[in-house]
Amino acid sequence: MAKDKNTDPSLSKRAAGGKKIYDPVGDETTPNGDVDPSAVKMKSEISLLNGCTIIIGTIIGSGIFISPVGVVKFAGSVGLSLIVWATCGLFSMIGALCYAELGTSILKSGGDYAYILEAFGELPAFLLLWITLIIIRPTSQAIIALVFANYILQPAFPDPDCPPPEIAVEILAALCLLILTYVNCVSVKWSTRVQDVFTISKVIALIVIILTGIAQIGMGKTENFQDGFANSQSDVGQIVLAFYVGLFAYGGWNYLNFITEELKDPHKNLPRAIIISVALVTVIYVLANVAYFAVLSPAQMMISSAVAVTFGNWTLGVMAWIIPLFVALSTFGSVNGSLLTGSRIFFVGARENQLPDLFAMISISKKTPTPSLILTCFLSLMYLLAEDIGTLINYFSFITWLSIGTAITGMLFLRWKKPDLPRPIKVNLILPIVFILACAFLIIVGFYAAPKDTGIGVAILMTGVPVYFIFVWWKNKPAFIQKCSGYFTRLTQKCLYVSLTE
């Protein structure tokens, strides 16, 4: 058979069933059996420390500096607020332990997407991939970048009646996204070092807050803890909303599972990093809230737009400016962690033939998923121009618990479907069952509390069904579409110097 002149050898060869099996540089090993360093394959160079800073740095964004206001608003009292924070940490630890089992038994990057694909097949996995691609990741990254820009500019605009110019905030947010995308494109080591530095800075900021609060308690500032359960909320709906706010601040404990393939010795380091990080964050969050309550009453917290900034203004005097700075550094690190992990979802989705081949490619020289990083950066930049991207987040808050709950349900399903699958970690069945029931409760409450927003989110999620059948399930597309797609892919490959991995 004559060779198709439009076939590029750097595109994937496929086995029966359409799976990619071709490494354009050659086999991963040399003839004498040594690892070939020139192979186009992402390296396993993320250490246990890097794994901890990725999880901690992603969890600790702006949430702990702002979210305590929402928790105390819905909980009503100091005592119940602290219980909510501790329980949210325990709940996150249960989910994290389940993800430790998933991540060590399914050694694929991609997190929720990879686990749902393994357990329930292509369509459910694609729907998660679709909603993550078009809304969840780019909007969340854009919002965090905007928070970063606002806090960086805040010292120059101290008057609350004179906020920073919107155009200045958007430009600074765009620079944040562009700089961090460049860092992630150049080197995984660079991005993990950035994550290490900024995670340490945000932990230092919280330690400053905790020590200041302890000092205030030592000086006798304990009146807010006396009769700590006074005015506690008894309405179950309000308490659930308090948990929603608290769990938002813990979001990100599952992000290391998105880059499992790049983690050194994942069987050991994945569960260790998850357990260490979630336990440390829980302790820090509870102590930080104790510090806040040592200085601010619930009523004072509820009129604060950013409780950490108010805390700093009341206790740190001329050094109060360090709190907005630390919040900015914290959000900068969160954007980096989101780019590092989020790009791998699209990389794995393309590798599974659910996105164009281009996004399954990595830089031949840098071994980073450059096309996927550029895609997520581009979409985030587009959302910076939106009028109210916060509304979009409201539409999809339930998707987080739906995807995590589905992934852990898949873990139980795989125990039945594949009982012989190696499981270095195997959690007690009570843990995933409790977690799944809690996820179902959070989803149901989401429908009850915000039926319009949740309904719009479901409708947009379901737009992925026709997209799946047209662009993924339908294989025999017209020749001119395949030709145009191939031409665009080859052109982009030449521009970015990227190729498929094995």
Q: Find the mean pLDDT for residues 302-313.
A: 81
- Report pLDDT for 25: 35
Q: Is the pLDDT of residue 118 over 80?
A: yes
- Which of the residue ranges 105-119, 207-221, 234-248, 323-337 would you say has the lowest mean pLDDT? 234-248
- Report pLDDT for 451: 84
Quote the pTM value: 0.86
Q: Is the pLDDT of residue 194 over 60?
A: yes
128 exposed, middle or buried (CB, 10 Å; 0-12, 13-18, 19+)?
Answer: buried
Q: Find the mean pLDDT for residues 343-357.
A: 92
Q: Which amino acid is at 272?
A: R
- pLDDT tens figures, 410-463: 999 999 999 988 899 899 999 999 999 999 988 888 787 778 888 888 898 999
- pLDDT tens figures, 195-219: 999 999 889 889 999 999 999 999 8
Arithmetic mean of pLDDT over the chain? 85
> Residue 137's Cα: distance from chain center in Å?
8
- pLDDT tens figures, 9-45: 344 334 334 444 333 333 444 444 444 555 667 788 8
Which of 163, 161, 162, 298 minimizes the C-alpha distance to 223?
298
- pLDDT tens figures, 355-399: 999 999 999 888 899 999 999 999 999 988 877 766 676 677 778
Q: Is the pLDDT of residue 255 over 80?
A: yes
Q: Is the pLDDT of residue 138 over 60?
A: yes
- Report pLDDT for 18: 44
Phi-psi region of 227 (alpha: psi -120 to 50; beta: other; left: phi over 0): left
Q: Is residue 331 within 8 Å of 151, Cβ to Cβ?
A: yes
Spatial distance between the Cα atoms of 245 and 237, rounded to a whole number of angstroms: 13
- Report pLDDT for 37: 54
- Report pLDDT for 375: 93
> Residue 446's Cα: distance from chain center in Å?
20
- Report pLDDT for 136: 86
Q: Is residue 45 within 8 Å of 202, Cβ to Cβ?
A: no
Task: Tally the residues of the chain.
Answer: 502
- Report pLDDT for 160: 65
- Distance in Å from the first CA to the final CA of the chain: 25
Q: Is the pLDDT of residue 3 over 60?
A: no
Q: Is the pLDDT of residue 283 over 90?
A: yes
Sequence-separated (6 or more) residues with CB below 8 Å from residue 469: none
- Report pLDDT for 20: 43
Task: State the Cα torsion 404-396-275-99 to the nearest 10°.
Answer: 20
Q: Is the pLDDT of residue 84 over 50?
A: yes
Q: Characterize 265-280 residue by residue with b for buried, 16 or more Cβ atoms within 10 angstroms of its Cβ, and e for exposed.
A: ebeebbbebbebbbeb
- Report pLDDT for 390: 64
Calculate what percentage of the chain has a pLDDT beyond 70.
Answer: 90
How far is CA 228 from each of CA 70, 72, 73, 77, 79, rounded to the nearest angstrom?
17, 12, 14, 6, 5
The SS3 call for residue 263 is strand
Instruction: Name the DSSP class of 14.
Output: B
Q: Is the pLDDT of residue 471 over 60?
A: yes
Q: Where are the domains of the chain?
A: 48-500
Q: Where are the beta strands (DSSP E) in 148-264?
A: none
Q: Which amino acid is at 480?
A: F
* CATH of the domain spanning 48-500, picked from 3.30.160.100, 1.20.1740.10, 1.20.1260.10, 3.30.70.141: 1.20.1740.10
